Structure 1
Amino acid sequence: MLFTKKNDVDFLELLIKAAENTLEAANVFRQAMNDTKPPSETFQAVKDLETKGDELTRTIFNGLNKVFITPLEREDILELASSLDDVLDGIEASLARFDYLSVTITDTYMKGFAEVIVDSCQLILDAFKVLSKKKYLQLTQFTEQISNLENEGDRLMREGIREIFTHRKDPYEDFKLKEIYERLEQTTDSCKDVANILHGVVLRYS
């Protein structure tokens, strides 16, 4: 657990560590989408990072129950940690689908989603570093970029599902692809949720 000189939990540093862990998972996912081996072979690596993320989130939650003075409103810290955890859960859940749906290949849409998620996670990490310096107005540039990336995620899902229904193949295989696209889009939504909370911080503290 991280502490300040006053023996308080360093929530902002914990959020940065959680964002770094989530970005690492996103990079592993992107590698899986671009590798020649089945994506499911990297599932355990992401699962381990997801477990580490849960531990960081739990440390933040426990700290909020013990510390009286926090650098932000308790609800802001709680929501940031929870929403970031949703991003990591989404990455893990997306990769899990390759495993239990027995999907062994990737496509252009999956690779596009991977780029969107990595870029979004990088922006979240950069935003948390700015947040730790209390440069609230600078957060806006990150929240806007994450929102734009979420729009790209929406486009990828629409185009992917359109491709399924315009070039129908085996219905079971089509279902698998649709399931993966939709879960990946939900993960980009979770990234935007983090951005929305950061936007609220801007309005509250700037």
Structure 2
Amino acid sequence: MFSLQTIFGSGKQFYLLLDEAASAAYDSAKALHVMMKAADRQPALDEFKLARQRERAASDKIGQALVDSFITPIEREDIEALGSALYKIPKQVEKFADRYALATQHLEQIDFAPRAAMLEQAAGVVVEMVHELIRLDIDRMTALNDKLRSIENEADRLMLELYREIYSGKLDSLQMFLLKEFFEILEKAIDRCREAGVVAYQIVLKNS
């Protein structure tokens, strides 16, 4: 039985659930950066799986809230789109961690920390953007969107440098494959952050 508050409420629960989803995505990126900075860089996959579980739980709650609520603070399609975009971030990070655990012995000389730091920064901006949704402050959101775009552009520049190294002829075939594989996963994770930021920005543009 639905309460009147559930049916006609302000929809504050959607902002809280989106905040939780964004925080879980950030925690996943932060855990990866911490692992890449560690001296031994031994994979501890529990943190990534926990972040994915939190993200999945928030996603499920958002879906159920959309079913139960008659009124939403922003359009249902936008809530679904942002929830889906946020869900993909820790999924991509966990993909990196799982594969890294299988190939650790071949990756000791590869420094992933700078790109992992950029991923953490991007995920942090996404947290800020999602948290700002309730205010619909277009100036603040534009500044955050520009910051996220700048991080993405820097990541793209670093990828070009990586390709120069891959095709320099100094690496053997296994090193070339691993460099390309793992850095492209990280690049895609940053792209997932950018996609979530774009959705959040468009929500504010539409409703401000």
Q: TM-score, normalised by structure 2?
A: 0.88
Say which of 179, 182, 187 aligns to 2:181: 179
Q: Tell me what 1:17 maps to.
A: 20
* Count of residue pairs brought into register by the alignment: 201
Report the AA paired with residue 107 of structure 1.
Answer: I
Counting only pairs closer than 5 Å after superposition, residues 141-152 of structure 1 correspond to structure 2 as 141-152=143-154
- Distance across 2 between alignment mates of 1:59 and 1:198: 19
Residues 71 and 179 of structure 1: is their aligned pair in 2 closer, same or farther, counting only changes over 3 Å? same
Correspondence 1:21-170 to 2 at 5 A: 21-39=24-42, 41-102=43-104, 103-105=106-108, 107-108=110-111, 110-170=112-172
Larger Rg over CA atoms: 2
Q: CA RMSD in A?
A: 2.0
Provide the secondary structure at the position in 2 that maps to 1:127: helix
Change (3 A) 1:17 1:48: same
Distance change >3 Å, CA 44–CA 6, structure 1 → 2 = same
Gaps of 5+ in 1: none
Report the Cα distance in structure 2 between the residues aligned to 1:21 and 1:164, rounded to whole angstroms. 33
How far did residue 137 of structure 1 move?
A: 3.8
Deviation at 1:13, TM superposition (A): 0.7
Please state whether the residue corresponding to 1:6 is helix, strand or coil.
helix
Contact 1:147 1:192 in 2 (8 A): yes
Range with bigger deviation, 130-139 or 77-86: 130-139
- The percent of aligned pairs where both chains have the same amino acid is 25
Separation in structure 2 between the aligned mates of residue 106 and residue 113 of structure 1, nearest angstrom: 15
Q: Gapped runs of 5+ residues in structure 2?
A: none
Over 3 Å counting, the alpha-carbon distance change for 1:146 and 1:205 in structure 2 is same
